[in-house]
A = this chain, B = another copy of it.
Amino acid sequence: MSVSSDANAERLRLDAPADALTRLYFIFGSPIAHVRAPVVWSTLMKRYGVNALMLPADVHSDHVDVAIAGVKDVANVDGMIFTMPHKFTAMKHADVLTARAQRIGSINLLRRRADGSWEGDNVDGTGFVDGLRADGVRLKDAHVTMHGCGGVGRSIGWSLATQDIARLTVFDLDETRAQALADAIRQDSKALIEVGTMADGSDMREVDVAINASPLGLDADDALPFAVDRLPPHAVVADVIMDPHMTALLNAASARGLKVHHGRNMMNHAMPVAASFFGLDDAFDWNGASVQA
């Protein structure tokens, strides 16, 4: 049975993956099996002596409101991350929203503030733009196209619109969605914000950065979100899809000799922004960290 002496109690406590004082963070998603946040965050927390864990929360859309409300009532929960398909639903659980989350219309982060209220933010787009810049992609005065104006597309669209780009053309199979995004971000932007039509690839010759923010590419059978053959030689093709690492789109762009930008960059660069939002950035030694996100 489990009875023993007191001898190894202290050793066990130090080695334990959790104790009574562990602070909890959750990533809500459905499906959840592919998410990397628990490994990446929990490993950093352990490495830097933060007594906290990032845990998977496999929650179906039918149950997400009850689940979020319940998890908020656990006092040692400090924050939540939301991935597909919960980013829109989660927003109504925030008592306060950052300006960008309001404009984007969804959240991927929720944190407990000192007064007990919950603040929502959306840092997908910020992470994406940070990733582009870190990868040496020039955005100043650029003409950028983005295909897909759903959850992550809205976040990236807002972040691009607030950069020093010259022009952003947004596309969606559902043109009303593209129009809604253009309307929402135009007021925050000095760039020309316009809605493209999916059939019209004619002006791809002037595009500097072409982004896929749609789900096309998740399945090997998916059509390309856009054709790459009319892009100029200096164009960069970026994808938000992380798995596969090389999507059909990126393969096609690479075959044409274009620079490609992998989906994983977004998550890698959103993470420091999220850590700052959660108040954990001082604990994490980013220069020393080399965590594979």
Contacts and interface: CB of A to CB of B under 8 A. Distances in A.
Given A42-B16, A71-B70, A21 B33 contact: yes
A202 interface: no
A227 interface: no
A283 interface: no
A57 B73 CA distance: 9
Interface in A13-66: 13, 15-22, 24, 26, 32-40, 42-46, 53-60, 63-64, 66
Q: In the assembly, how many copies of this chain are there?
A: 2
Interface stretch (A163-171, A177-185, A214-222, A267-275): A267-275
A55 B24 contact: yes
Given A3-B268, A272-B2, A57 B38 contact: no
Contact of A272 (B1, B7, B20): B1
Interface stretch (A105-113, A118-126, A146-154, A284-292): A284-292
Contact of A16 (B4, B38, B290): B38
A96 interface: no
B76 A56 contact: yes
A265 interface: yes
Nearest to A46: B17
A9 interface: yes
Contacts of A268: 1-3
Given A16-B43, A17-B45, 19 more contacts: A1-B272, A2-B44, A3-B268, A4-B290, A7-B292, A12-B39, A12-B40, A12-B43, A16-B42, A17-B46, A19-B39, A19-B42, A19-B56, A20-B33, A20-B56, A22-B38, A56-B76, A68-B70, A70-B73
